[in-house]
Amino acid sequence: MPTNFTVVPVEDGGAGKSTLEGVFSEEDEEDISPRRPYSGDVTPRESSPFINNTDHDQENYYDGKNMALFEEEIESNPMVSSLLNKLANYTNLTQGVTEHEEYENEEGVTKIRVKSPQMGTFIGVYLPCMQNILGVILFLRLTWIVGTAGILESFAIVVMCCTCTMLTAISMSAIATNGVVPAGGSYYMISRSLGPEFGGAVGLCFYLGTTFAGSMYILGTIEILLTYIVPNAAVFVAEKKEGEAEAMLNNMRVYGTCCLALMALVVFVGVKYVNKLALVFLACVVLSIMAIYAGVIKTVIEPPDFPICLLGNRSLQNHNFEKCVKTEVIKNVTYTTKLWELFCDSRHLNATCDEYFTLNNVTEIQGIPGLLSGVIKDNMWGDYGPSGMLVEKKNQSSVPAQDNSRDIYMPYVFNDISTFFTLLVGIYFPSVTGIMAGSNRSGDLRDAQRSIPFGTILAIATTSFIYMTCVVLFGACIEGVVLRDKFGDSVKKNLVIGTLAWPSPWVIVIGSFFSCCGAGLQSLTGAPRLLQAIARDGIVPFLQVFGHGKANGEPTWALLMTAGICEIGILIASLDAVAPILSMFFLMCYLFVNLACAVQTLLRTPNWRPRFKFYHWTLSFLGMSLCVSLMFISSWYYALVAMSIAGCIYKYIEYRGAEKEWGDGIRGLSLNAARYALIRLEEVQPHTKNWRPQLLVLLKLDSDLGVKHPRLLSFTTQLKAGKGLTIVSSVLEGTYMTLGAEAKSAEQNVKSAMHAERTKGFCHVVVSSNLRDGFSHLIQSAGLGGMKHNAVLMAWPGGWKQAEDSYPWKNFIETVRETTSAHQALLVAKNIDKFPSSEDRLGEGTIDVWWIVHDGGLLMLLPFLLRQHKVWRKCKMRIFTVAQMDDNSIQMKKDLQMFLYHLRLNAVVEVVEMHDSDIAAFTYEKTLVMEQRSQMLKQMQLSRNEREREAQLITKLGTKSHGNLNDNAPATPDHRVHMTWTKDKLITERNRNRSEPNVGVKDLFNMKPEWESLNQSNVRRMHTAVKLNEVVVNKSQGAQLVLLNMPGPPKNKGGDENYMEFLEVLMDGLDRVLLVRGGGREVITIYS
């Protein structure tokens, strides 16, 4: 078609450009823009992972002619210059108090911009990690651990725990430097590396660990307050000595709850005040550490004066007496002391006293003998014992008493809990946690990928050095009985570590108090944000409510949840009991950090390119092993509980959570494992014992691209029960360029139907130029490697006779031929819409198997597989086989029963005898009609008028032969000819022939030549189909399902339509039929 156009001369420069824009502007607005409406059929392009595209930016994508080669791709793929411009303007929001502060107004969502992060390694990573690692355990329990376990074992505990955290920090550094870590910190790293299931489970464990850490810090704060600062503030006071421990626990609960409420209120009102005080809390920690080392140096010059009183070799609580003597002489008069009154019933010298007090002398020694005193030899080994054991000096002599029953009422120093090595590991481990503080602030750092590894590892190295030196220095400077005195009763209720400090014990007391307060506040600040990050990811549905908060993003509901869980730890009221609990959760988190690094390293995924290079998968596995070992060393039952919690969360997310694809390592591990398994499967053919039907289900779609026979999927579910391979596929006729969107839509519809029918498997819809080629390609190429289908399941083409063209039944027969050539089994379900759904429960009934020929035993295996499903479970199995004239039917039944016994199948056996008989006239008539119809179908290529005339001619010839023409019958507008012959027509014909003998004889002579001209092979096959159908209908008409051997198609394609007639006659009168054709190999065996 000619096109008229006008050449317009234009000037160079901007005018030309504007003229072109004017020429094409209206066309672009009126013609081009309506061509690309948004519809559900078009898959939207995936957004960039690091930039946000806007319509305004697309205006500058293409300008000029130097990139005309890529002109058509500019809309979907941005120019590199535009991409780099966006990267240059990329700003990472801070993740402190104002992280992702958003509020929603009437017009939409508005984001509050904050200034770019400016923190370096020292301020942003090193100091926060130091503050989180050095805490309550160092000040309140480390001296007691050294005294109880000894220097060597304490050193081993410290080395194990610090090695665990160092290895974890190496793995964490590799993950943290493999890209930007947004909000969520450690949770984000784990979830994006191990997937939503592991991420959610470990994230919640880390949240619980952080929450219980808050409980531990609050309990430590209250212990310092009530034991060392204001002991008179106790609400509960024990009347008897044995009730002091319980009273202390109640005081901890009351004051701990009040402290928790106060801290939660501070966090709710404004977290910015907590962050402003963080420097003060950090200064307290640093000053306390410096005071300890200064005190150690001071002991070399002048040890501090902290005398302790020993009765025999037993340490005494000296806060109720001043002088460590039984009696004192004043002006030649002997007086008893306060110590005497504690062990005797009166102040007089003749009073009755405790036997041990009478037998042993009182001695006073220095509690802090100093670094050069040689006390390190005595503190080298541990001194474990049960609860209530007296704290005694090892190398001090004493005279034992006969009666020790009243020792509990005396002012001795006792063990408040049973002590053993594994318990001390669990109590100590929380003192090395806090290594995630730097990674949690990745958004606040100037260069996170450099600061996180360097700052975290340096902080762990520093704190490890502090802990190791403290273990040695405590054992070298402090007397063993003082070290084992957990609450400082032998040094006048002073904090034991404070007795070593310089210039005053109050430096440590006040410093540790504010340190614990700050750590508790930070736990109550960080834990709700972690829970909020998990909730906003949407992987745990019941946590959705905790993703909401105040207008500025503060997690209000998550804070309430955190306070509630924290209260549980406070009600436990014992620092020694809470510490192992949070140790489990932190160890779980560290374990999966190491696992994430190891998995990513071993998989060698292309995206695994961390800037931190000093890692190796062996270090990660060593860290994993150490984490698991420490969990079970600390408390095997707590370890099992923590793993059970993580496992339950994992399964919950797997079955109920939202589906996420984060490119995680577990998915990569699954792909690698699948690849390895597929390669192994392809090496050898599966053994008969492992054979199960791996199904390729050929579906038919309706005009709306929906599944036409959903019961085919139900039957697949019942047959497979989630085991083995299932590929559900269909074919669209056309080209992929034009039907690509329809294919994806059809695939989604099939997946929805599979989900509704609970069919587990894969879905694939292909587009082919014709259906025959599409099904052929699926049969040849579906599956991968060793995971290929070995059986094809399809529905019987029920309306093949009424179809205007022959494509349905020709496609069906070609599918049968191709499955046979591919040595695959074939299952054809007739009346598939009458099959039960997966929700039905069939009552009493039978599954009847008609075993005509042996083709591998698939006929007997299928009922067994079906009866594993609850739909068919109550049905019994019956096996019928056919005996010929020369067969011994009794012996056949015995042999078949024995065969089934060896196969371990329970079934009723019946042998049906089919004697040779003359071929009935009905068989000849049906064969004749079939061949006449075949001749008619061969003329389908003629024009419509010729086809009508041919059909009328065939109809007249057939009617003349059968004497069944009604000349007065009105013409019908239906041009389709139905050449059918039934038994009723045959009986009517015979009766009419009897009433008119002359005509009957004439017709008989007229018909006989036609019978003789029939294809005798077709006659025999029709005879078999008719006789076999009579037997099957007689025996199995009431069966729930009938399984029949499927005869093979003829080698000569000219008789294909006759083959369909044979199958139709064979299945006539049966509701649910499954035709089975074996794949040419044995699928069932009698051997184990």
What's the pLDDT tens digit per position in 262-278?
999 988 887 777 777 77
Task: Answer for the pair 1053, 807: CB distance below 8 angstroms, yes or no.
Answer: no
Q: Hey, CA dihedral for 705, 709, 714, 719, is it positive or negative?
A: negative
What is residue 618's three-state secondary structure? Answer: helix
Predicted local distance difference test score (pLDDT) of residue 944: 46
The phi and psi torsions of 3 (rounded to 5 degrees) equal -120, 130
Q: Which residues of 608-623 are buried (b: 16+ CB within 10 A; e: fewer)?
A: bebebeebebebbbbb
Separation CA 436–CA 440 (nearest Å): 6
Separation CA 575–CA 903 (nearest Å): 64
Burial class of residue 655 in the structure, from the number of CB atoms within 10 Å of its CB (0-12 exposed, 13-18 middle, 19+ buried): exposed
Give the count of beta carbons closer than 10 Å to the beta carbon of residue 674: 13
Strand (E) or helix (H) holding 954: helix 944-962
Separation CA 973–CA 530 (nearest Å): 76
Task: Answer for the pair 648, 593: CB distance below 8 angstroms, yes or no.
Answer: no
Separation CA 745–CA 740 (nearest Å): 9
Residue type (1 letter), 838: S
Could you check whether the bond before residue 693 is cis, i.e. omega within 30 degrees of 0? no
Task: Answer for the pair 320, 339: CB distance below 8 angstroms, yes or no.
Answer: no
Distance of CA 930 to the CA centre of its chain: 59
- Written as six digits, the tokens of 541 are 């549905």
The phi and psi torsions of 828 (rounded to 5 degrees) equal -120, 120
Task: Answer for the pair 665, 195: CB distance below 8 angstroms, yes or no.
Answer: yes
- Written as six digits, the tokens of 509 are 């007391």
* Predicted TM-score (pTM) above 0.95: no
Q: To 10 degrees, what angle do helices 1056-1066 and 1016-1036 make?
A: 20
Q: Which positions of the chain have pLDDT values less than 50?
A: 1-64, 87-117, 918-922, 924, 941-945, 954-983, 985-986, 989-990, 992-1014
Cβ contacts of 172 within 8 Å, gap of 6 or more: 186, 189, 435, 436, 439, 452, 456, 593, 597
DSSP H helices in 761-903: 771-781, 807-821, 858-866, 889-902
Task: Answer for the pair 1069, 1025: CB distance below 8 angstroms, yes or no.
Answer: no
pLDDT, tens digit (0-9, with 9 covering 90-100), for 598-627:
988 888 878 888 888 899 999 999 999 999
In degrees, rounded to 5, the angle at the alpha carbon of residue 884 between the alpha carbons of residues 878 and 885 is 135
Q: What is the DSSP letter of 31?
A: I
- Written as six digits, the tokens of 166 are 């160092």
Predicted local distance difference test score (pLDDT) of residue 1085: 67
The residue among 452, 51, 495, 585 whose CA lies nearest residue 292 is 495
Task: Answer for the pair 750, 698: CB distance below 8 angstroms, yes or no.
Answer: no
End-to-end CA distance of the chain: 78
In degrees, rounded to 5, the angle at the alpha carbon of residue 620 between the alpha carbons of residues 618 and 623 is 110
Q: Which residues of 94-108 are buried (b: 16+ CB within 10 A; e: fewer)?
A: bbbbbbbbeeeeeee
Task: Answer for the pair 877, 867: CB distance below 8 angstroms, yes or no.
Answer: yes
Exposure on the CB side of residue 701, measured as CA atoms within 13 A? 25
Separation CA 26–CA 32 (nearest Å): 10
The phi and psi torsions of 510 (rounded to 5 degrees) equal -70, -40
Cβ contacts of 180 within 8 Å, gap of 6 or more: 50, 92, 442, 448
Task: Answer for the pair 535, 547: CB distance below 8 angstroms, yes or no.
Answer: yes
What is residue 840's three-state secondary structure? Answer: coil
Give the count of beta carbons closer than 10 Å to the beta carbon of residue 9: 5
Predicted local distance difference test score (pLDDT) of residue 912: 84
Cβ contacts of 604 within 8 Å, gap of 6 or more: none
Q: What is the DSSP letter of 860?
A: H
Exposure on the CB side of residue 1053, measured as CA atoms within 13 A? 9
Separation CA 951–CA 973 (nearest Å): 13
Separation CA 326–CA 323 (nearest Å): 8
Residues in the chain: 1088
- Written as six digits, the tokens of 693 are 């039907």
Task: Answer for the pair 959, 953: CB distance below 8 angstroms, yes or no.
Answer: no
